[in-house]
Amino acid sequence: MIVDLTLELSEETTVYPGDPRVEIRKWTAIEKDGYYTNALFLGEHSGTHVDAPAHFIPGGKTIDEIPLERFIGKGVVLDVSSLNENIKPQDITKSAEVVLFYTGGREVYLSEEGAKYLVELGVKVVGIDAPTIGDSSTHKVLLSNEVVIFENLTNLQKLIGKEFTFFGVPLKIKNGSGSPVRAFAIIKEEE
């Protein structure tokens, strides 16, 4: 079974403070031009997206330089929706190549210590259903270790307690700091 982990991208999409608003402009119409297309104006970090190391690390890899294998892996969802404080190492009770945090809209983020712990565990992808994984120190710990970060994921509650493979493939934006993605998970069916 496939679970879509992606937010809809539209002019109503909420963007991180300071980021450009998403604009989707009608470019051609069937009645007038014979075919229908839109032109997009959007930041690299709009909607469900991935952060590349270059987002915070000078000289870090840009999105086009990261191999595709990096965006696919066996995943686990940690339910942090009842935490009252940011996510610490002791809250990370399970691990996999891809570790995703379900906050359910609660404003809890990954602490710097939590990020260091994930790096020690050898995690290669971290994700959250919030506009940001944490503050700049958390970003720097993860990105300087080439752990890519998925933000604004959705539907993570559907993956709690399941075995799944995560996919979150970016556009190949030359020198990009990140990219919107279509993220999804394939759940292993129970026999």
Query: Which residues here bind Zn ion, judged by CB under 5 A?
Result: 45, 51, 151
- Encode 33-50: b = buried (16+ Cβ within 10 Å), e = exposed: eeeeeeeeebbbbbbbbb
β-pairing, 148-151 vs 125-128, is parallel
Q: How far is the CB of 181 from Zn ion (least distance, A)?
A: 11
Q: Which is nearer to Zn ion, 45 or 70 (CB)?
A: 45
Those residues with Cβ within 8 angstroms of residue 57's Cβ, 6 or more apart along the chain or in another chain: 140, 143, 144
Q: How far is the CB of 142 from Zn ion (least distance, A)?
A: 11
Q: Which is nearer to Zn ion, 34 or 48 (CB)?
A: 48
Q: How far is the CB of 23 from Zn ion (least distance, A)?
A: 19
Q: Which is nearer to Zn ion, 129 or 151 (CB)?
A: 151
Q: Which is nearer to Zn ion, 43 or 89 (CB)?
A: 43
Q: How far is the CB of 93 from Zn ion (least distance, A)?
A: 26
Amino acid making up residue 154: T
Those residues with Cβ within 8 angstroms of residue 147's Cβ, 6 or more apart along the chain or in another chain: 115, 118, 119, 123, 124, 125, 126
